[in-house]
Structures are given as structure tokens and as C-alpha cells.
Amino acid sequence: MKGRKLLMIPGPIEFTPEVLRAMGMATTSHVAPDFVESFGQALERLREVFFCPHGQPFVIAGSGTLAMDVAAANLVEPGDKALVVNTGLFGDRFAAILERYGAEVTQVRAPAIGDAPELEAVAAALGRGDFKLMTVTHVDTSTAVAADVRSLAALGRETGVLVVVDGVCAVAGAEMRQEEWGIDLALTASQKAIGVPPGLALLVAGPRAMEAFRQRQTPVGNYYADWTNWLPIMEAYEARRPSYFGTPPVNLIWALNVSLGQILAEGMMARFARHRRVSRAVKAAVTALGMEQVPLSAERTAVTLTAPYYPAGVERTVLGAIKDAGVVLAGGLHPAIRERYFRIGHMGAVSASDVLATVGAIERGLAWAGYSFEPGVGLAAAQKALGE
């Protein structure tokens, strides 16, 4: 029997064999010509994946939290005002990071868990303060709520604030067109829809964000994160010149270039459509099995993950039974409801068969937990949605 489990959590995800092979290759010098070419190409490809032809990409060893830290460190000066559009735990995290660099943070919170703030509420908050920057979490992984990034970015632009998007659970899975939508900085990490093992913080800063950085009156309060150190490195690699500030994670950057190549070969629109289709299938199965979801409206639900509440009488132990049935899912993350829901990640190279395997394992777990349902009802709903 095969011992391997299917990893269907909201990051890290299942990676393609080609990406994993790049991780296993003999590591070269970070100034070797092949590596320089690969790094340079990855930087160019990031612009395409973020839809930001005039942006400056940064690839730095670290996780998504470092990407948030880099954004805050370089864009915020002590006393600057920042507005956080909060749709869950990662909004709280961004607020804490911004405060660490001296920002005065105002949060516009969702009226309830699973909801997103109304555009009018964000507009009113923007109108009340003299904000330098606004952050939006595209998909908050703790609630599976997707913010209306496009409209929020348009609002931000009207008010003249810098628009920063935490796209950790979205970029390369949920549609985001950085430049066209007026997003000044978008960031993600390697381990989600980008499809590379954990370890890379990825950012693309548009011209207004770079200009704000250049206009700083005070030094960046974080040596490692400082773009003064990283900008020449990114420019050099893109010009196919070796350079050094901190040793780049050579194998991860090879893997990144392989994955970005696969993403662009699939085509961004096809990739977004596949994520929507897979998401519809998982959500249809969850609904057919009688489970409610954390997001309060279908309109505000993420395409990269699904967050069902356990049905009555079923507890967290069901995740162990689902794992025994072959699929690893994630527990709850939002502290207020942690024990009441679980999370199914479906991004990156996820296929229709992965969806069916996952729904099948969920059904077997629910049956183990003594939950009463018609076997196959979730699978049928998923099949139907996949065929539409």
C-alpha cells in the first residue's frame, strides 16, 4: 500500500516533480552562470505572474511573514499612519508589524468573523485620516475570506494612499492584476499557489512604492530587510550579473524559476479558471455534506481554500480519520472559532483527482465520526461541479 498522504492544507501544498527535482540538484555557487541566469529569469517571470510590468521584484530567503516585514520596514517611517483592512488573523499580524516600525495603525474590521468590511466603511476611514498606506489581505487564510482587492485598491488610489496587498494565500491562484488594479506592492511566499517549498519571501513593488522608499527621511529600521541592500542585488541578477549581499537560497530559487515557468506555461487565465473550478467543486461537496462555511457569503469566499465548520456532533478528531483515509487537512486557525472549523487548501498544481480523493477521504472521516449522510453525496456534487 502507498504510504504517502495527499497534502491538502493551505500551504505548504503538493509540489510538482520538476520543482522537487530542482530542490534536489547539487547546489552550485550563487555566482555560477547557470544560477545567475535562473535567478534573472525568475525575477522577470515574477513580473508576469504579478501582472506588474513596471514593478521591481524582490526574492529574499524567508517566509511570508518576512515579506510583510520587508514591506512595512521599507515603506513605513515612525509616525506614518496606516490603515489595515482586517478580514482575519493576518490583518492583525500586519497591524502588529506596521506598529513595530512606528506606524499609527487604524483597523477597519469585518463586522463578523467570515465577513469583510464594507467598501463604504473603508472609504469613510480613509476619509478621516491622513494615511500613507493601506494594507489588504487578499485571502485571509484564517477565515477563507477573499477581500474585494480590486475595488479596495481603486479606493486607495483615489485617496492617494499606497496600496499594499498580502497575497500570500492568493498570488498565482486567485486573480490579481497588480499594475492595472493600482496595487503599489504585492507580496507572497513560495509555499502556496506559487508552488515551491517554504523559504522564499516574494514581493513586487510598483513605481509609487519605490518612490516612497526613495523619499524616506529615516533609515530603514531593519538591516536584513532594507531595500538599500537588496535592490542592487535584484538589479544585478536581472542584468545577468552575479552579486552578493546575503547568500541566496540557490536550490529554492531554481525551484522558483521552474515553478514560475510552469505557471506561465499553463497561462494565468487558465490557472485562475482551474482554481475557481476546483474551489467550486470542493465547496459544492462541503455543502452537499451538510456543512456550513466560515465565509458568510459566496461572493467573499476564497478560491484557494475552503473553511467548513464541523457538522453537529463531529469534532477535530475527524481530521485524524481523514488523514488515515489518505488526506492531510488543516485545523482551524482563527482563535475565536479554532475548534469549530477546519481548512482544505486547494491551490497550485491541484487536480480534479486530488479534489475527488479529498472529498472521498472527508466522507470516510465523517462516517468514522458517526455523522449521518448518504455516502457519495459529496463526491457526486464535486463531480458535477468539475464537469460544469
Closest CB to ligand PMP: residue number: 64
Which lies closer to ligand PMP via its Cβ, residue 168 or residue 263?
168
Residue 239, classed as helix, strand or coil, is coil
- Minimum CB distance to ligand PMP, residue 13 (Å): 11
Which lies closer to ligand PMP via its Cβ, residue 69 or residue 363?
69
- Minimum CB distance to ligand PMP, residue 97 (Å): 10
Please give the Cα distance from 200 to 164 (Å, whole number): 18
Which lies closer to ligand PMP via its Cβ, residue 94 or residue 310?
94
Q: Exposure of 373 by Cβ count < 10 A (0-12 exposed, 13-18 middle, 19+ buried)?
A: middle
Please give the Cα distance from 331 to 208 (Å, whole number): 39
- Minimum CB distance to ligand PMP, residue 371 (Å): 28
Angle, helices 377-387/268-288, rounded to nearest 10 degrees? 150
Cell of 198: 517554504
Phi, psi of 174 (to 5 degrees): -100, 140
Percent composition of the chain: helix, strand, coil (DSSP 3-state, to 5): 45, 15, 40
Which lies closer to ligand PMP via its Cβ, residue 46 or residue 284?
46
Which lies closer to ligand PMP via its Cβ, residue 137 or residue 301?
137
Which lies closer to ligand PMP via its Cβ, residue 63 or residue 228?
63
- Minimum CB distance to ligand PMP, residue 61 (Å): 12
Which lies closer to ligand PMP via its Cβ, residue 87 or residue 358?
87
* Secondary structure E strands in the chain: 6-7, 56-61, 81-86, 104-109, 133-137, 139-140, 145-146, 162-166, 185-189, 200-205, 305-306, 327-328, 330-331, 342-345
Residues forming contacts to ligand PMP in the complex (CB under 6 A) are 11, 63-65, 90, 137, 140-141, 166, 168-169, 189
Taking alpha carbons only, the member of 68, 46, 69 closest to residue 58 is 46
Instruction: Look up residue 358 and give its amino acid.
Output: T
